[in-house]
Structure 1
Amino acid sequence: MKNECVAVVGWILGIEGALGLIGIKWLDGDLGLIHLLFTPDTWVYVVLVVIGVGVAVGHEAARKRGRVRG
């Protein structure tokens, strides 16, 4: 169960970063929930996308290799 939570948190971070980038670049303002806590720069959203998708994809690959139960 704990390992599945890691993948879910990774996807959530990636989606939040993607929403923020879309909002800054093509719409009038930030999207997602991160901007409600503080006003992040564009590079923060890029880092969120990279870390979030990296964690999620890494977890899925490890699960398929059999290293993670779930």
Structure 2
Amino acid sequence: MDKATYEIVSAVGWISAVQGGLGTAGRLWGEQPWGLLHKWWDIPTPGYVVLLAVGLAIALTAEAGRKRGAKAAPGAPGA
């Protein structure tokens, strides 16, 4: 994958993780979930925890892949 693809996948992962974290925190320490997702869907607390974990996994995998690609081919286009 090229650098732009890693950037997009990483951004989607971080946004998902933040929404999962906000939803979980809002359910645990507030009256309702925080973030945007609760405005469209009624997601249970374990769903927010899964969203946080999957978002982190996607973001960290994309970041690692981007760094690995930069080390493997320092002169290659998109690295």
State the TM-score, normalized to the length of structure 2.
Answer: 0.80
Give runs of ≥4 in structure 1 deviating > 2 Å.
none
1:64 — aligned with what? 67
Shift of 1:3: 2.5
The answer as to whether partners of 2:6 and 2:65 remain within 8 angstroms in 1 is no
Provide structure 2 residue ranges, at least 5 long, that are not aligned to the other structure. Answer: 71-77
Matched-pair identity in %: 39
- Alignment-derived partner of residue 75 in structure 2: none
Task: Give the CA RMSD over aligned residues.
Answer: 1.4
* Cα displacement (A) at 1:2: 2.7
Which is higher, the Rg of structure 1 or of structure 2?
A: 2
Partner of 2:28: 25
**Number of residue pairs the alignment of both structures matches:** 69
- Normalised by the length of structure 1, the TM-score is 0.90
In structure 1, stretches of 5+ residues that fail to align are none
